[in-house]
Chains A and B, each alone.
Chain A
Amino acid sequence: MIFNIFKKELKETLRDKRTLIMMLVIPILIFPLILNVVVGVSSSFEESAENKTLKIGILGEPDDYFAQKLNEIPNALGPKTLIPYHGDSTKMRAHLKEEKLDLIFIYDSKFSEKLDKMEPTKLVCSFDKTNIGYDQRAQKYVQFIEAGEKLKRYETLNIDEQQITPFEIAYENSASNQKMIGELVGGFLPYIFIAFGFMGCMYPAIDLFTGEKERGTIETLLTTPVSRWQFLVGKMIVIILSGLMASFFALLGLFLSINFMDIIPDPEIMKVVNQILSIGFVLKLFFLLLPLTVFFAGIMIPIAVYTKTFKEAQSIIAPLNILVLLPAMAGLFPGIELNIKTAMIPILNIVLTTKGLIGGHIDYSLLALSFLVMLILAIIAVMISFKQFGKESNILS
């Protein structure tokens, strides 16, 4: 009997445009859209920042020593135009503020003499740090000039550069690519799956309970020789399935965008990403999402049963989304790890467990504890749903 109810409810749900958009269309498009925009925008910004001819203000004259050194910098480090300010630093700074200049260099009028005498001197480089790429460009220019000056001094002092370099340092990353990916996106991905799981449940929950009341079909249904718990279970399975499907389509969207949008140029990282998105990972992820989705359905059903209209139900359930996603957001912060305490916090535990799964470093006892916590909550939520669905005052308006 429950299967008959499930079959009918699923058929109806799949014919509801709102549910289909929320369960299938938006989840499957979200990652391609986000990644397309992020990758497209950031690469176009980087490209334009690299190729932009910077207007550089210099405090001295167009033929002074510093200007000559700047002119010697090859165009490969970025094109530039020099604008001399003949000692007027106030005007130059004002022009920088007004964005008439991109970068300014302020230096002593005896800059060249001091360098020759090997006396300390100061070089100020000023720019608007909110402009992408200016930071790197300024560093490259200064490093180029500084390296040339150093070489000159080594020659003057007759010093072998090798002798004054005590050691060469190399920093190596001991974290595997998988762990790095886990840290970078491990919190964000489960957040997305949880958000879509919630939204995927919302419309079917309202449609299958409040909708029945609003359309006047509930009374007829309750005159059939089927018990209320069977209706509840049949409908609930559809709601849970919709939530899981929304999460699944979000995952599918992610998989498709990674594999067909060429957003990961490094083949090594691409290999690791595909290893992460294995069938084993997907199964483990949905094993964790299952009690969470049951819990979502369990908290939505009593509201949907209690409310009289679609709008009323939506106005209560939609803000609940923020409440549910708050603990999920905590998982995005660095330093929050899965331990006995965090495994007891619903939703956050799922985010952190999934983060661990993505990073390939998961303590399975904590995974089991997280699952158990969510399972207990899901059972409580289902019991509340059953109690509310049994109330005459909630069923008949």
Chain B
Amino acid sequence: MIKVKDLSKKFSLNKEQRKERNTNDNFAFAVKDISFECKPGEIFSLLGPNGAGKTTTLRMLSTVITPTSGSIVIGGVDAITEPQEARRKIGFLTGSTGLYARLNAHELIDYFASLYDVPNPVVRERKKYLFDLLDMNEFANKKIGKLSTGMKQKVSICRTMIHDPEIVIFDEPTSGLDVITAESIIQLIRDCKSQNKTVIFSSHIMGEVDLLCDRLAIIHKGEMKYKGSMESFREQMSEKSITAEFIKTVQA
């Protein structure tokens, strides 16, 4: 379960940034007073155009950056006061995630399992399950730098899931991937839902959102524009397509 209340993140602006934004303010909000909840077994989508504040929100959820104000509760743990404890419950995957090119898949997964304090017998078991599931055995001993984009993405998925997190955060996970590789991510998100995990993912691709999510929130310029179920979003649509409706919501 993820509970986010009145979440804000303020960044200080340097002279150049003030000029670019045509403002005299010393600060700018990347995210302003956002609140939402995401339940286990549910896929929650954070939607917005580029620069809307999606990544900043997800980075705050994963405790990589600290909010300026507001609260985040991850699986019953206050992510602001106990960030390390909160991180234990999270699996984090972004489309731009890099991997250590000089390690092989086994070494990389073992390293991340050790960072999550996963006991060795459990690591062996989880690795076997994930390697079989993702069909990774053939290239598991090859250096990651020599793998194809699709293979690398499988390694990333395996890294995200090795500690069996109860909450999975995907930040534009299919961005820049070909359809076949993107499909493996879509399948992973579905599997997470079926395993009763709490799933939150950000995207600007409406088709992907329509296909997967139970509830969604649309943010633009750091502010919440819409929050509700996918079903009610479809019902209240006045435009012909979901993409057109999304654009209308953002521009409203």
Interface residues of A (CB under 8 A from B): 1, 4-5, 8, 11-12, 15-16, 215-217, 219-227, 392, 395-396
B98 touches A216 (CB 8 A): yes
- Taking a contact as CB atoms closer than 8 A, the residue among A15, A16, A220 that contacts B92 in the complex is A220
What 0/1 pattern do residues 83 to 123 of B give for CB contact below 8 A with A? Answer: 01101101010101111111100010001101111000000
Given contacts A12-B100, A12-B103, A215-B98, contact A223 B117 (CB under 8 A): no
A219 touches B87 (CB 8 A): no
A396 touches B112 (CB 8 A): no
CB contacts (< 8 Å) of B117 on chain A: these are 1, 225
- Taking a contact as CB atoms closer than 8 A, the residue among B59, B63, B65, B96 that contacts A216 in the complex is B96
B66 at the interface (CB under 8 A from A): yes
B159 at the interface (CB under 8 A from A): yes
- Taking a contact as CB atoms closer than 8 A, the residue among B99, B102, B115 that contacts A224 in the complex is B115
* 9 A–B contacts, CB within 8 A, in A order: A1-B115, A11-B107, A15-B102, A217-B99, A217-B100, A222-B63, A224-B115, A225-B88, A396-B64
CB contacts (< 8 Å) of B45 on chain A: these are none
CB contacts (< 8 Å) of A5 on chain B: these are 115
Given contacts A12-B102, A396-B65, contact A219 B116 (CB under 8 A): no
Which of A217, A224, A392 has most chain B Cβ within 10 Å? A224
The closest CB in chain A to the CB of B171 belongs to A219
A225 touches B85 (CB 8 A): yes
Chain B contact patch, size range: 20 to 34
State the CA gap A11–B97 with chains docked (Å).
Answer: 21
The closest CB in chain B to the CB of A224 belongs to B115
State the CA gap A227–B115 with chains docked (Å).
Answer: 10
Shortest CB-to-CB span from B75 to chain A, Å, is 12
B116 touches A224 (CB 8 A): yes
Which of B62, B99, B103, B115 has most chain A Cβ within 10 Å? B115
Given contacts A11-B107, A216-B96, contact A225 B115 (CB under 8 A): yes
Shortest CB-to-CB span from A4 to chain B, Å, is 4
State the CA gap A223–B92 with chains docked (Å).
Answer: 7
State the CA gap A392–B63 with chains docked (Å).
Answer: 11
A4 touches B115 (CB 8 A): yes
A219 touches B85 (CB 8 A): no
B98 touches A224 (CB 8 A): no
B84 touches A225 (CB 8 A): yes
CB contacts (< 8 Å) of A1 on chain B: these are 114-115, 117
Shortest CB-to-CB span from B27 to chain A, Å, is 14
Interface residues of B (CB under 8 A from A): 59, 62-66, 84-85, 87-88, 90, 92, 94, 96-103, 107, 111-112, 114-117, 159
B115 touches A226 (CB 8 A): yes
B111 touches A223 (CB 8 A): no
CB contacts (< 8 Å) of B87 on chain A: these are 223-225
Shortest CB-to-CB span from A128 to chain B, Å, is 57
CB contacts (< 8 Å) of A16 on chain B: these are 102
State the CA gap A279–B96 with chains docked (Å).
Answer: 50
Shortest CB-to-CB span from B158 to chain A, Å, is 13
State the CA gap A225–B99 with chains docked (Å).
Answer: 18
The 8 A-B pairs with the shortest beta carbon distances in the complex, nearest first, are A216-B98, A215-B98, A223-B92, A224-B115, A15-B102, A225-B87, A4-B114, A223-B62
CB contacts (< 8 Å) of A223 on chain B: these are 62-64, 87, 90, 92
State the CA gap A376–B62 with chains docked (Å).
Answer: 36
Shortest CB-to-CB span from B174 to chain A, Å, is 16
State the CA gap A217–B98 with chains docked (Å).
Answer: 5
State the CA gap A4–B85 with chains docked (Å).
Answer: 19
State the CA gap A222–B90 with chains docked (Å).
Answer: 11
A396 touches B59 (CB 8 A): yes
Given A16-B102, A225-B115, A227-B84; 16 other pairs, CB 8 A cutoff: A4-B111, A4-B115, A11-B102, A215-B100, A215-B101, A216-B98, A217-B98, A217-B100, A220-B92, A220-B159, A223-B62, A223-B87, A225-B85, A225-B116, A392-B65, A396-B65
Shortest CB-to-CB span from B148 to chain A, Å, is 17
CB contacts (< 8 Å) of A226 on chain B: these are 84, 115
Which of A221, A225, A226, A392 has most chain B Cβ within 10 Å? A225
B115 touches A219 (CB 8 A): no
A219 touches B64 (CB 8 A): yes
State the CA gap A5–B88 with chains docked (Å).
Answer: 17
CB contacts (< 8 Å) of B100 on chain A: these are 8, 12, 215, 217
CB contacts (< 8 Å) of A220 on chain B: these are 92, 94, 97-98, 159
Shortest CB-to-CB span from B13 to chain A, Å, is 12
The closest CB in chain B to the CB of A230 belongs to B115
State the CA gap A8–B114 with chains docked (Å).
Answer: 10
Shortest CB-to-CB span from B199 to chain A, Å, is 15
CB contacts (< 8 Å) of A215 on chain B: these are 98-101
CB contacts (< 8 Å) of B116 on chain A: these are 224-225
Which of B59, B94, B100, B116 has most chain A Cβ within 10 Å? B100
CB contacts (< 8 Å) of A8 on chain B: these are 100, 103, 107, 111
CB contacts (< 8 Å) of A395 on chain B: these are 64
A222 touches B88 (CB 8 A): no
The closest CB in chain B to the CB of A15 belongs to B102
State the CA gap A5–B92 with chains docked (Å).
Answer: 19
State the CA gap A395–B65 with chains docked (Å).
Answer: 10
CB contacts (< 8 Å) of B98 on chain A: these are 215-217, 220
State the CA gap A396–B85 with chains docked (Å).
Answer: 22
Shortest CB-to-CB span from A228 to chain B, Å, is 10
The closest CB in chain A to the CB of B117 belongs to A225
CB contacts (< 8 Å) of A392 on chain B: these are 64-66
State the CA gap A225–B98 with chains docked (Å).
Answer: 19
